[in-house]
Structure 1
Amino acid sequence: MGGSDDKQEPWGLRWRSSTYFIVAAMAVALLTDMYLYGFLVPLLPYVLEHRLGLDVSLTQRISTALLSQSALIMVIASPLIGSHADRSGAKRGWLLFGLGGALVSSLIIALASSLFTLFAGRLLQSAASTVIWVVGFATLADNVPADQLGKMYGFVTIAVAIGTSGGPLVAGVLFDFGGYWVAWSSVLFVIVFDVILRCLMLEQPRGQREISRPERDGQDPERDALLPPSTPEQPITGQDRVTEKTGIHFYLCMFGNGRFVGGVVSYFCYAVLTTSFDATLPLHVRDVFGWGSLPTGLLFAAFQGPAIFLGVPVGWLKDRIGTRNPTTIGFALLAPLIWLMAVPGDERFPWASPDGFGAIIYCAAMLSIGVVICLLNGVGMMEATQAVDEIQEKYPGIFGPNGGYSRAISVSSISWTSGMFVGPIIAGYGTETVGFYGINCVLGLGDVRAMFFHRVLELEIIRAPAIDPSEAF
């Protein structure tokens, strides 16, 4: 009897370790992170000018530096966090650690009375954000069946979109109606709700699920969407000779995989494209059409809104047919749409003048980009996950007992963050140098190159003979 009690299952094991609950917990985690990131944006002028007493002329410069700091911290911290998270195995402790950092950093920022304290709080918040993104996506990869990753990433995309748009909106409304501290109270509510979900969540990685579900007739459908059928019960040669890849050898092994490289390049180009709009769109529509903040906000809604409705269906499609064709089609369609968006207002195209059909063409192009870009959502994370699965399927144990999801996803996170950092710089400087039409042509050309990388490198892993990572390096 005593032994039976010792082995009693935790309360609510079935639903607490279910795929949908884990996805919901991770979606709320990423929503919280994006909420905290965007929450500060409408409050920054008040914080800098009234609470810190800085000159108004410094607001734009300091705001840009404060927001850009996050990208730099994520690039530095991502590989370190990914490496340690893979070694530790269970991810829930890391997620709670990240949440604690988010809470402490939010308090520091809210109470900041000097510029140094404000930057220190933002630095800690960026580090906590890196933990949430890297470990959160690794948790999804480790707990979600491989043939459902696309659909589940679709749910996460919806949460990220809500957090991105909801943070500035809630902060602005609460600040206007209730004041500074009422606005910050919403941060506490979001974090407490996130704490509850993370404490309830129980991880049950794929291997444990396979052991606990013998009724699947000895098949592993979680691998069907990743690899083509192979000879049944094919023995793994050299299994005993496989040595664990750690440190730089892990990354060299991953960058020898065409799928992984294609995903990293695609994710970087995707980030450059999406963030370039932040630097150019508001000023362009003001100069060409005379539009103010409300029409500009509606344009961004048209750009981000389709992901809320199409994220899950597109993810389901990727689970059925893979990521290569949707991503290739997405980049191929984006190139002409980006060019079309730059046509209105350019005097070389009188048929698209602002007084004629220019506004209609511009809005239609923006909405179409928002729809097409759904094909690219999560491409870096999915390709990283599938590349790790492919290598570990052939060479079990090569990435250690806890796998390599966190380290692989940290590289994807770096590519995305680097694109977010570079995108506004390229777009802003390029618009001043060659004009809006010229820089859009450059961005369209970049989409074509991204399509080439993703298509060719994906084909390379299918056609080229596999290199045994156990003998490399």
Structure 2
Amino acid sequence: MRRPGWLLSLTQHGEKPPYLLKCRSSEGFIIGTVALAVFTDMFLYGVIVPVVPFALEERSHVEHDRVQYWVSVLVAVYGAALLVFSPICGWLADNSSSRRSPLLLGLLALLGATIMLNVGNQIGIWIVARILQGASAAVVWVVGLALLADTIPQEQLGQAMGYVSLGMSLGILIAPLLGGVVFEHGGYDAVFGMAYALVGVDIILRLLLVEKKVAARWDPSMAGQKAVENISPSTETSTNPESSASPIAPYTRRRDRLPPIFSLLCSRRLLAALFGSLIQAAILTSFDSVLTIHAAEVFNFRSTAAALLFLALVIPTFFAPLGGLLSDKYGGRYFAAGGFLLSCPPFICLRFIQENSVSDKVLLCALLALIGFFLSFTFPPFMAEISRVVEAKEKSIQANGRPGFGPGGAYAQAYALFNVAFAGGCMVGPLLAGFIVQERGWSTMTWVMGLLDGVTAIPSFLYLGGWVFGKP
């Protein structure tokens, strides 16, 4: 009698499967773990946003007229570190056998950065801590998103990325809210008490996570469609309707002979997704360096009241998974372009927030909510598009008689490029917004950033999913 696959696998490996293996290697658990990892990273990035302006004066004795400068620098240093470390992490991840171990190493770096921010009271220490935070974020984003691309079928990837986008947006936007409230009522150390608790939960989940390719050692049925495709690319290519309809071309394009990361950069689809990711990150992080200070100047808000304003941006992020689901079904082109285009007018209208009145406070919250709602539909299509470009590129290379991107694939390197774009946004957004406010005022900043927001809709519409006027 033929033995079941799982029993045969156990016999071959001679060991019992880990406890709750199916649950720990399920798509839902992996999505949740990656989303929480992203949330943790962005939470620790943003929890000090409403705290830093006051801590710089009280703990580091920075002069008041230099606070805006150092706030912008500290926010931008994180983006710079993320930019530098992302390509390195991408190459290492695609050439390593595990996604789980790098995630744990990144978490240790994040813990070290948190301790330094907690005990440090000098600008130099804070800058080093932000560099460590950026390095940790590079690991989390590159390896975490590559793990999702390894695990989730392409037709469901947009919705999965929606949950990651939700984790990112919640981390960026709810962290300042909680940071401001806890700082005002509990003090500086209490803010980092939240951070340590969150890191502890994250450590537990990352230790529990089992990759599908690892789970397949005990139960081959857990490998999933993605794992089978990655193991046997030649079989997948031969059975694909598009590839079977076309003979193997005798000529290999020069771009297909380049290293994966440079080959991917030749794709206009990918460049459009990267540019959109850069601008979206710049728009969101621009609030980190200017909103708290503007609210303090106009409304006389302290950290708690200023932090509550970020709640208007948080709530609409719950629509991100819906945006991912719709983009999976109808294509991400229209949702990404529409999100940028529709968020342009409310951003420009922020210029009218100039008086300490109830109407201005209500208008500010309404405009922030509209911006958050429309932008929540932009990120999932970009992250799903990156994975689809990698898959399309690999099939194209294989159709020309070459082996593709190798056994490790190129998902991590593709998301390293995404990280570079996102880091560029994190670096440019706060600096641009902060320096415009300092030199030209709040009103000029709003129309500059709003116009940039609207212009980004053009490449998103033209290139996401392929050239809009080309063949489908």
Cα RMSD between the aligned structures? 4.0
Q: For structure 1, which segment, 168-177 or 384-393, has the greater mean C-alpha deviation from structure 2 after superposition? A: 168-177
Helix, strand or coil: the match of 1:189?
helix
Q: Report the AA paired with residue 344 of structure 2.
A: A
Q: How does 1:67-216 map to 2 (within 5 A)?
A: 67-112=75-120, 115-171=123-179, 180-204=188-212, 212=221
Check conservation: 1:244, 1:400, Cα contact below 8 A. Answer: no
Helix, strand or coil: the match of 2:407?
coil
Partner of 1:375: 377
1:250 is displaced (CA, Å) by: 2.4
Helix, strand or coil: the match of 1:89?
coil
Question: Closer, same or farther in 2 for the Cα pair 1:239/1:357, shift >3 Å?
Answer: farther
CA distance in 2, matches of 1:233, 1:458: 25
Helix, strand or coil: the match of 2:98?
coil
Question: Closer, same or farther in 2 for the Cα pair 1:297/1:251, shift >3 Å?
Answer: same
Q: For structure 1, which segment, 89-98 or 124-133, has the greater mean C-alpha deviation from structure 2 after superposition? A: 124-133
CA deviation string 1:84-124 (max 9, x = no partner): 11111321111011011122332333343655444333322
CA distance in 1, matches of 2:196, 2:356: 46
| Correspondence 1:315 to 2:324 | yes
1:237 is displaced (CA, Å) by: 1.6
| Correspondence 1:32 to 2:40 | yes
Partner of 1:408: 414
CA distance in 2, matches of 1:423, 1:29: 23
Question: Closer, same or farther in 2 for the Cα pair 1:301/1:131, shift >3 Å?
Answer: same
Check conservation: 1:244, 1:399, Cα contact below 8 A. Answer: no
1:157 is displaced (CA, Å) by: 2.6
Partner of 1:237: 248
CA distance in 2, matches of 1:354, 1:420: 30
User: TM-score w.r.t. structure 1 length?
Assistant: 0.79
Question: Closer, same or farther in 2 for the Cα pair 1:332/1:69, shift >3 Å?
Answer: closer
CA distance in 2, matches of 1:332, 1:47: 37
1:170 is displaced (CA, Å) by: 4.6
CA distance in 2, matches of 1:255, 1:103: 33
Helix, strand or coil: the match of 1:88?
coil
Question: Closer, same or farther in 2 for the Cα pair 1:181/1:325, shift >3 Å?
Answer: closer
Q: For structure 1, which segment, 359-368 or 99-108, has the greater mean C-alpha deviation from structure 2 after superposition? A: 359-368
Q: How does 1:204-283 map to 2 (within 5 A)?
A: 204=212, 212=221, 230-231=241-242, 233-234=244-245, 237-238=248-249, 249-282=259-292
CA distance in 1, matches of 2:360, 2:322: 32
Which ranges in structure 1 are unaligned for 5 or more consecutive residues? 221-228, 346-352, 467-473
**Aligned match of 1:457 in 430, 448, 463?**
463
CA distance in 1, matches of 2:253, 2:125: 49
Q: How does 1:334-353 map to 2 (within 5 A)?
A: 334-342=343-351
1:297 is displaced (CA, Å) by: 4.0
Check conservation: 2:38, 2:168, Cα contact below 8 A. Answer: yes
Question: Closer, same or farther in 2 for the Cα pair 1:371/1:112, shift >3 Å?
Answer: closer
CA distance in 1, matches of 2:395, 2:143: 22
1:198 is displaced (CA, Å) by: 0.9
Check conservation: 1:39, 1:168, Cα contact below 8 A. Answer: yes
CA deviation string 1:388-418 (max 9, x = no partner): 1211233344222111111111111111221
User: TM-score w.r.t. structure 2 length?
Assistant: 0.79
Identity of aligned residues (%): 26
Q: Report the AA paired with residue 317 of structure 1.
A: L
Partner of 1:300: 310
Q: Report the AA paired with residue 77 of structure 1.
A: F
Q: For structure 1, which segment, 58-67 or 248-257, has the greater mean C-alpha deviation from structure 2 after superposition? A: 58-67
Check conservation: 2:181, 2:307, Cα contact below 8 A. Answer: no
Q: For structure 1, which segment, 37-46 or 151-160, has the greater mean C-alpha deviation from structure 2 after superposition? A: 37-46
Question: Closer, same or farther in 2 for the Cα pair 1:323/1:175, shift >3 Å?
Answer: same
Question: Closer, same or farther in 2 for the Cα pair 1:119/1:260, shift >3 Å?
Answer: same
Which ranges in structure 2 are unaligned for 5 or more consecutive residues? 1-7, 230-239
| Correspondence 1:326 to 2:335 | yes
Counting matched residue pairs gives 445
Check conservation: 1:260, 1:387, Cα contact below 8 A. Answer: yes
Question: Closer, same or farther in 2 for the Cα pair 1:284/1:102, shift >3 Å?
Answer: closer
1:264 is displaced (CA, Å) by: 1.0
CA distance in 2, matches of 1:99, 1:143: 21
Check conservation: 1:431, 1:439, Cα contact below 8 A. Answer: yes
